[in-house]
Structure 1
């Protein structure tokens, strides 16, 4: 077992779900605990950045696995430096290497992670963090469920968000005409910079009216993450043989049930009339595609062919998201719809010898 000597403290902070609630602030507590020790095939990672996801609230509410009871650790993804590792892990990694990972319990200053769950990255940049969940969800969902054909019309809801930004770009790479919904002119401007053909700011334009007028033949593919009225609007505007991909329904996550209110009685008829389909996408069910997706996206980013927009809260009322304490603010910021790109928290400052 190898460690980075005295630079590793004896204790650390982490966020723990202490009770089940859709209110993240009520469910989660900041605790001080001993720094864990890596096992034979594990890495001890000093987290530099962690990602905020809409599903953090589903997790704190116990919706993913009702059999798991508090306390349990919060957070899904992190990126940082290897500061300790087991003997088997040393065959692949060394102290100081930079890695990203997708695993439970990421909201911590230090995290023990099995080597097989990590991805080597060339530097500790938050842009790489955006690919782990947000990018991979868009890449695999569009590839496996979208069946994109050049010239098709694709709608992306919450298009300027963490995963929406990638769905826009992958649809454009496939030669599609892309429509993106957003909630501000700033976001609409960002969408234009990443190739969105028709950003629609639904706070100043009526979305349903605009879609019916400008796309009377309907939409071939919809990448949907909001739910409720947005889902119903998407169904109503599908083209013949249209494909609606549901990757989430954030509008319901903060409610007691966590389930969106949808008028489902007419859904079978609407799908039948158009030979259309609705399919759900949950990333853990597609992990066989994960390695290829990450490799492809890393290459695109390295070649300047993929924008990975990061929002660290620099424009937030209380400033940049720094330290685990700011995860609470970051979750609120995302649910208020303020972010442009992926919301990321800087957990710890860079070490003197880190790869920047």
Structure 2
């Protein structure tokens, strides 16, 4: 049996779904006639179009052609054919894509050393379904809005398995924040944090993409939340999320503040900075404290990607406090992903979850884009549909 292939731009397509085998029947000795079943798929344009707009034959996308922590050096923009979705796939016209620190690690080859260039960049996107395979049409239709977490998002069009796509009520950049950043905080705290009401939780880089969610989920669990940040503006943002004690480490000594105000230590640390901040967090753990490592931002732009860490006395410190350190990498927890996303979307719909989006307008040379994010910090600016073009514009552009 061959899988069903849908044609693009209204071209007629056929699918051979069964072939008779030529040979001698073992019982009758008769040579059977070859059988061929043809399905007329001339209606396939219905599966490959959106509001009457034609799908181009080519598109632009970002491809990692060289392993490097410098994103501009690592990627190149290429013009390629628009892919055709398989039987169980969707073809998504991307309207917004998300940029995370993980993209730097991925383009530097740190997540999978066996992966060699060239490979597609980008992990998360949201847009409209403009094409789909026959099996996928049992759950989706052309025009549906979906979000997804998978490779190849930094492109004008991306083929996504239908089973890995998530329906969303509208094409809004806020939903992008849930796909990686929100899911990381939700699952990590639920599975590894063991949060209990009244505990003290420290979130480092708390005003960042995933930190903002960790603050909110810890508050929802009835915890006292401390959040580190780098400016008074970010401290104000953290207060608006319910953070009990924002600490601007540029104007306060983090180590002295934690020791003075929290002498009994910290029950749970949601840590993404690494290096000296990680060492400080270990030293301030309470008895039975849990430290969750979800990243190490301070080393991402270095050659090794790993910030220095002095761990010689770590076993003693953990034993003395019956404390623990656990690492969290989202792809290892995909069995929890759909439940986490569904729960967060309900919270967002009810106004119980803030999803702050960095539009790049504060970055040097940046501007607010419908993409909702900017690669300026990585040395490259990617922009989909500037304000005023609207979601139903002439298509996406990379600039």
Which residue in the other structure is 1:3 paired with? 48
CA contact (8 A) 1:226 1:250 kept: yes
SS in 1 for 2:61: strand
Q: How far apart, in 2, do the equivalents of 1:125 and 1:288 lie?
A: 25
Structure 1 pair 292/353, CA: closer, same or farther in 2 (3 Å)? farther
Q: How far apart, in 2, do the equivalents of 1:211 and 1:53 lie?
A: 28
Which residue in the other structure is 1:60 paired with? 107
State TM-score, norm by structure 1.
Answer: 0.93
Which residue in the other structure is 1:338 paired with? none
Q: How far apart, in 2, do the equivalents of 1:345 and 1:195 lie?
A: 33
Deviation at 1:328, TM superposition (A): 3.6
RMSD: 1.9
SS in 1 for 2:198: coil
State TM-score, norm by structure 2.
Answer: 0.83
- 1:236 paired to 2:283: yes
Q: Which residues of structure 1 form unaligned runs of 5+? A: 334-343
Structure 1 pair 205/136, CA: closer, same or farther in 2 (3 Å)? same
Deviation at 1:188, TM superposition (A): 0.3
Deviation at 1:317, TM superposition (A): 2.9
Q: How far apart, in 2, do the equivalents of 1:276 and 1:332 lie?
A: 40
CA contact (8 A) 1:52 1:330 kept: no
Which residue in the other structure is 1:339 paired with? none
SS in 2 for 1:180: strand
CA contact (8 A) 2:360 2:376 kept: no
Answer 1 or 2: which has greater helix percent: 1
Which residue in the other structure is 1:347 paired with? 384
CA contact (8 A) 2:229 2:249 kept: yes
User: For each residue in 1:250-294, what CA deviation from the matched residue of structure 2 results, as whole angstroms up to 9, or x when unmatched?
Assistant: 111111111221001011111111111000001111111111111
- 1:247 paired to 2:294: yes
Structure 1 pair 328/306, CA: closer, same or farther in 2 (3 Å)? closer
Which residue in the other structure is 1:307 paired with? 354
Structure 1 pair 186/255, CA: closer, same or farther in 2 (3 Å)? same
SS in 1 for 2:166: strand
Which residue in the other structure is 1:316 paired with? 363
Larger RCO: Structure 1 or Structure 2 (Cα < 8 Å, ≥ 6 residues apart)? 1
User: For each residue in 1:3-29, what CA deviation from the matched residue of structure 2 results, as whole angstroms up to 9, or x when unmatched?
Assistant: 115531121111100011111111111
Which residue in the other structure is 1:123 paired with? 170
Which residue in the other structure is 1:43 paired with? 90
SS in 2 for 1:96: coil
> Max radius of gyration: which structure?
2
Aligned length: 343
Q: How far apart, in 1, do the equivalents of 2:382 and 2:128 lie?
A: 16
SS in 1 for 2:152: coil
Deviation at 1:30, TM superposition (A): 1.1
Structure 1 pair 330/312, CA: closer, same or farther in 2 (3 Å)? farther
SS in 1 for 2:117: coil
Q: Aligned match of 1:217 in 255, 264, 278?
A: 264
Q: How far apart, in 2, do the equivalents of 1:305 and 1:18 lie?
A: 42
Q: Aligned match of 2:204 in 150, 154, 157?
A: 157
CA contact (8 A) 2:375 2:382 kept: no
Q: Aligned match of 2:185 in 130, 135, 138?
A: 138
